[in-house]
Amino acid sequence: MTAPAVASLAAPASAGAAGGRPPKLAPWRRRERMIGLAAVAPAIVLVIGFMIYPVCYAVWISFNKTNGLNFDFIGLGNYTKLLADPLLHKVFLTNIIFLISVPLVIVAALVCSVLLYERIRGWKLFRVLFFVPNVLSTAVIGLMFKSLFSYRGPVNAAIVAAGGTPIDFFSSAGTSIAVIIVALVWSGFGYQTLILLSGLSSINPEIFEAATVDGAGWWKRLWYITLPNIRGVVALVSILNVLYTFTALFGFIFVMTAGGPGYDTTTLDYLIYTLAFSSSRLGEGSALAVMVFLLIGGLTLIQLRFFRATEDD
């Protein structure tokens, strides 16, 4: 076949492609695509039905004054009312105080993960024990610590046995917050330990062996080898803990203090519950939920930029 004939045969195909028409898929390719769409369809329905739609509905409710039955559109009225409310400022500061638990959890998890990585005596048993709190629900953990630190509980019994005076831990803001922080650290460090342990497992063991031969002690290996190599995992753990502090303390507060004394231990998520379901101010509760969503999104972006900047350095 001559060159002009080949060019004439190729011309229609190139003209069709230049016309912008997408090439037709083969029947088997179309069948694969339909099977794939059918496989993910249930997940898409669940995401839309249980995540996207409720979020959009909550945003719409936040622009209304409602008790769940009657709706009166007021625009940004709920937002301006909340921002001017001193109670919200107080609750926000309380949530900031609970962020003390984040570095405590990370330090405890880091030390435990390093010890487990080095396989100290009984490391298998300790790995199971550290994970036990994650099997328990928040309500169970809250009841445990409420019983431990009650006026006639084991902690006060030990204080009296040592010659001290029993303390009513849940009668003041300082001691109540301290007990909740202890419960947060105890319940959360085991899971974070496993995350950090997975990061440690990705480090080449020969690096630690070489450092040990060169005379580097435990603290030097931790500071100059372990931490730089798991910086990304530490960033993930810190972000998860900050998000947890702003969105998942409801169970502890509900069981241990019910937000008291007064509003001294009330957190943002517990205030959302109080507004929306206890005082029939569903519009304000939805507005606060949207504000918390935007807050944790902003905090996450700030943390990500901070850790990226430190990695660049």
Surface-to-core class of residue 281, CB atoms within 10 Å of its CB (0-12 exposed, 13-18 middle, 19+ buried):
buried
Paired tokens of 126: 């300790």
Q: What is the pLDDT of residue 79?
A: 94
Q: What is the pLDDT of residue 13?
A: 47
Reported as a single tens digit per residue, the pLDDT across 199-232 is 888 888 888 888 888 788 878 888 888 888 888 8
Contact 270, 259 (CB under 8 A): yes
Predicted confidence (pLDDT) at residue 311 exceeds the cutoff of 70: no
Residues with Cβ within 8 Å of 79's Cβ and at least 6 positions away in sequence, in order, are 62, 287, 291
Half-sphere exposure of 195 (CA within 13 A, CB side): 21
Predicted confidence (pLDDT) at residue 23 exceeds the cutoff of 90: no
Cα–Cα distance for residue pair 231/214, rounded to 1 Å = 24
Surface-to-core class of residue 208, CB atoms within 10 Å of its CB (0-12 exposed, 13-18 middle, 19+ buried):
middle
Q: What is the pLDDT of residue 161?
A: 93
Reported as a single tens digit per residue, the pLDDT across 115-157 is 888 777 777 788 788 888 888 888 899 999 999 999 999 999 9
**Confidence bin at 25 (pLDDT 50/70/90):** low
Closest CA to 251 of 238, 274, 268, 270: 270
Cα–Cα distance for residue pair 276/269, rounded to 1 Å = 11
Q: Which residue has the tokens 């502890």?
A: 252
Domains of the chain by start residue, with CATH = 24-61 (no CATH), 99-266 (1.10.3720.10)
Q: What is the pLDDT of residue 3?
A: 45
Q: Give CA separation, 36 vs 33, 176, 236, in Å.
A: 5, 53, 32
Q: What is the pLDDT of residue 11?
A: 46
Q: Which residue has the tokens 């419960």?
A: 183
One-letter identity of residue 69: L
How big is the chain, counted in residues? 313
Paired tokens of 175: 């001691």
Reported as a single tens digit per residue, the pLDDT across 61-93 is 999 998 778 889 999 999 999 999 999 999 999
Paired tokens of 294: 């935007």
Query: Is the entire prediction scored with pTM above 0.85?
Result: no
Reported as a single tens digit per residue, the pLDDT across 178-202 is 999 999 999 988 888 889 988 888 8
Q: What is the pLDDT of residue 123?
A: 77
Residue 69's φ and ψ, nearest 5 degrees, are -115, -50
**Confidence bin at 16 (pLDDT 50/70/90):** very low
Cα–Cα distance for residue pair 107/269, rounded to 1 Å = 26
Query: Range with the lowest mean pLDDT among 27-41, 45-59, 153-167, 246-260?
Result: 27-41
Surface-to-core class of residue 145, CB atoms within 10 Å of its CB (0-12 exposed, 13-18 middle, 19+ buried):
buried
One-letter identity of residue 85: D
Higher pLDDT pick, 91 / 17 = 91
Reported as a single tens digit per residue, the pLDDT across 95-111 is 999 999 999 999 999 88
Q: Which residue has the tokens 């409801």?
A: 250
